[in-house]
């Protein structure tokens, strides 16, 4: 029983680490595609926040990881469809939403 609990906790921790790494990799790809230097700088700051999130064994943290992943997916769509002039006004609100989700995630740990 103790081994099973330990393996469940280890599995949750590994899943959280993989989620953090996947979100960071997706954000790095978006940074390469953004034509606006100011937006790229903000995304780099966000990348630092995401890369160094503390992995957690808590089950409710997975929902926050998914929300962050969903917002990064939204950002991919915005960046690929937006014109150079509208990238900043479209991406900055999503960045703020991700910061909010990160703050919520960290408060639950």
- pLDDT at position 25: 97
Q: How confident is the model at residue 7 (pLDDT cuts 50, 70, 90)?
A: low
**Closest CA relative to residue 29, chosen from 81, 95, 79:** 79
Residue 74 has pLDDT above 80, yes or no: yes
Q: How far apart are the C-alpha atoms of 46 and 82, rounded to whole Å?
A: 20
| Average pLDDT rounded to a whole number, residues 99-104 | 96
**3 state DSSP class of 55:** coil
Q: Is residue 95 within 8 Å of 45, Cβ to Cβ?
A: no
pLDDT tens readout for residues 84-95: 678 888 999 999
| Average pLDDT rounded to a whole number, residues 11-34 | 92
| Average pLDDT rounded to a whole number, residues 13-33 | 93
pTM, 2 dp? 0.86
- pLDDT at position 108: 83
Give the start-end residues of each E strand in 19-104.
none
Q: What is the largest CA-CA distance in the chain?
A: 58
Distance between first and last Cα of the chain: 25
Instruction: Render 29-62 in DSSP notation, one character per residue.
Output: HHHHH---HHHHHHHHHHHHHHHTPPP---TTHH
| Average pLDDT rounded to a whole number, residues 9-17 | 82
Task: Specify burial of residue 4 (Cβ count, 10 A radius: 0-12, 13-18, 19+).
Answer: exposed
């Amino acid at each position: 029983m103790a081994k099973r609990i330990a393996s469940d906790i280890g599995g949750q921790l590994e899943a959280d680490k993989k989620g953090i790494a996947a979100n960071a990799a997706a954000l790095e790809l978006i940074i390469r595609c953004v034509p606006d230097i100011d937006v790229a700088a903000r995304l780099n700051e966000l990348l630092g926040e995401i890369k160094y999130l503390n992995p957690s064994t808590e089950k409710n943290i997975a929902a926050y990881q998914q929300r962050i992943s969903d917002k990064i997916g939204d950002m991919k769509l915005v960046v690929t469809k937006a014109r150079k002039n509208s990238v900043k006004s479209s991406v900055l609100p999503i960045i703020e939403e991700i910061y909010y989700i990160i703050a919520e995630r960290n408060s639950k740990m």
